[in-house]
Structure 1
Amino acid sequence: MIPLNILDYSPVDEGYDPRVALLQTTELAKRAEDLGYKRFWVSEHHHVLSVAGSNPEMLMMHLATSTNRIRIGSGGIMLPHYSAYKVAESFRILEALHPERIDLGIGRSPSYRMVNKAMNENKGRRPSYEQQVEDLYKFLTDDPSENHRFHKLIATPSINTTPEIWTLGTGGGSAKIAAKNGTSYAFAYFTMPFDTGIEIVANYRREFQPSPFLKKPKVTIAVFAVVAETTEEAEEIAKALDLWLLFVESANPPPYYPSIRTAKKRGVTAAEQHKVTENRKRMIVGTPQHVKATIERLAELYQADEITVIPNVAGIHNRMKGIELLAEAFDLMASKDGDS
């Protein structure tokens, strides 16, 4: 049975506030652990007021402390915003306190330019993303190679385990970086649901070079999933996701995730319908058995080792119910018991 993971955005539901959103993420992580999910990742979004997840490593520390077994990770750290040395030390702290439970997912920044400017103001010339990735790997492995400009520098705490490294992306460039550095690869199908991804993942596998992090290639495919007991209910829930995606891509998005009632009342314009139709390619919507069958087909197409579902729907009760129904469809509890 293919392992399932969760990537949570900490959505701020209409009528609630960001503190509640973060507490709901905590409850979702606890439930995911009980249900047998393998990993629970949190996102990094800046200047998006409808989601509360802006600082993955701080939220990860809270989630790792609130759970016992499930792997906790970032999906992901947007490396161009930061110093690779600082990221390495943050994740070494996490790994030291929660050994062999921490995933470090890294990616380029899709954020607003002003976010990156605010993060790096007055820092002068910044290294390329490729250089930052190499720096991060050096600091996490204590590589003493003298050809590195910081070869004498050690990231502390110095520990004997390493976070599991995942390179996130949608294109050939990120896949090449993952393959070259010997890390796992997470393909963001939820932003790039096209057949070209199959070849991108295949190239990653062909070009993979074993490393201290990983001996053979490992792939997860990440996709929005809207799961409900009936097709009709799933479609109603999906309408709110349709609207949220329209909102976050607009000039003045509201500071909340629209409710199902709001989505139903507002509807979409004829001009918006094409975008909604295109966005539906990024998600799987339906009953547990339909979503399960689609996930299995996706896993086979991409030869994925794991699947990461993003239950980014309105209402914590719908998010909870969705991951419960999917866990039951995949019989995750049986897999969990078998591993224990």
Structure 2
Amino acid sequence: MTVLNILDYSPIDEGETAASALASTAELAKLADRSGYTRYWVAEHHQVYSVAGSSPEMLMMHLATLTERIRIGSGGVMLPHYSAYKVAENFRLLEALHPNRIDLGVGRSPSFRLVNQALNESKGRRVPYEQQLIDLEKYFTDDVDSEHRFQKLKATPITETAPELWLLGTGEGSAQLAAERGMAYAFAHFARPEKAGIEVVNRFREAFRPSGLRDQAHVSVAVFAVVGETEEQAEQLAKAFDLWLLFVESDFQPPYYPSVETAGQRRLSASEKERVARNRSRLLVGTAEQVKQQIETVAEEFGADEITIIPNIAGHANRMKTVQLLAEAFALS
């Protein structure tokens, strides 16, 4: 049985506000909870004006309170911006309030240069990323015996359980770090859909070393998914996604996710059409049954233990329908 998760960017639909986008995320999380999904993750995006997800820890607190059984997590916290100790405390607090339901997915920082400057302007020397991962393992396992610069320090609150720790990535560097630290690995197929990604995941499995966090290698693969009740509707939604991605990758960023109607009226230049064609490899499109088959193909190719879908499509009702239709197609509940 395929384990299905959701990663939600909290898109701000055209004509809507950030507040309504976050309310939509809450409704989507509650639907995923009822429908049998395993995890619901939220993102950390800065200076992307069409999405409302900028502080995953705070949004996670809200969602964990509104849901009952689904695991709530970050996809992910951009660790180099922050103190590993403070991140550990934030997530241990979440874990204390919602035991066995909290995931910490961490990544490097693909943010804009100005964002990096603003988040780090008061800092001196940066702690290396690998050292931050070592720090998180220490704080999540309450290790005060191993040699460490803060050997006797524990992250509070002290809890009987700990958040699940995941490393996010697309390349060999992140896969190697996850394997060396004994962490679960979340591969971003939506960012790197090439077949080379399969080899990255295979090398992670081969190099995996058991740790205090995990006994064996575990992989989730994240995909953009656009599901319509018909192929025609799915293609209309995909065209809105195409336009949103063009906006995100350009200097022009409207503060909303374009509607199906806006996308249908927008004429694309020759260069934009080329970019859309390239970006379509990052996207699974079709009816629920068609996307189910595509998901199963990805899962088989990567040997994935879990698949995380990103229903980053126009319209709250369409996102709700996508989550519902895939749950029914996979008989999750």
Shorter-chain TM band: over 0.9
Shift of 1:103: 0.5
Structure 1 runs not aligned, ≥5 long = 334-340
Runs of 4+ in 1 over 4 A off after TM superposition: none
Residue 93 of structure 1: aligned partner: 93
**Residue 163 of structure 2 aligns to which amino acid in structure 1?**
P
**Residue 95 of structure 2 aligns to which amino acid in structure 1?**
E
Q: TM-score, normalised by structure 1?
A: 0.97
Q: TM-score, normalised by structure 2?
A: 0.99
Residue 201 of structure 1: aligned partner: 201
Name the CA distance, whole Å, in 2 between partners of 1:114 and 1:135. 27
1:84-125 per-position Cα deviation (integer Å, ceiling 9, x unaligned)? 010000000000000000000000011012212111112101
Shift of 1:147: 2.2
Q: Aligned with 1:7: secondary structure?
A: strand
Matches within 5 A, 1:85-124: 85-124=85-124
**Percent identity (aligned):** 62
**Residue 276 of structure 1 aligns to which amino acid in structure 2?**
V
Residue 41 of structure 2: aligned partner: 41
Shift of 1:61: 0.4
Name the CA distance, whole Å, in 2 between partners of 1:38 and 1:146. 34
Q: Matched residue pairs, number?
A: 333
Residue 10 of structure 2: aligned partner: 10
Shift of 1:183: 1.1
Name the CA distance, whole Å, in 2 between partners of 1:309 and 1:43. 13
Residue 153 of structure 2: aligned partner: 153
Relative distance call for 1:213 and 1:58 in structure 2 (3 A) is same
Residue 19 of structure 2: aligned partner: 19
Name the CA distance, whole Å, in 2 between partners of 1:320 and 1:326. 10
Residue 268 of structure 1: aligned partner: 268
Shift of 1:144: 1.5
TM-align CA RMSD: 0.8
Matches within 5 A, 1:123-272: 123-272=123-272
Structure 2 runs not aligned, ≥5 long = none
Q: Aligned with 1:80: secondary structure?
A: helix
- In the alignment, does 2:83 pair up with 1:83? yes
Contact 2:137 2:212 in 1 (8 A): no
Shift of 1:146: 4.7
Q: Aligned with 1:332: secondary structure?
A: coil
**Residue 117 of structure 1 aligns to which amino acid in structure 2?**
Q
- In the alignment, does 2:68 pair up with 1:68? yes
Shift of 1:267: 3.1
Name the CA distance, whole Å, in 1 between partners of 2:9 and 2:146. 40
Name the CA distance, whole Å, in 2 between partners of 1:37 and 1:175. 25
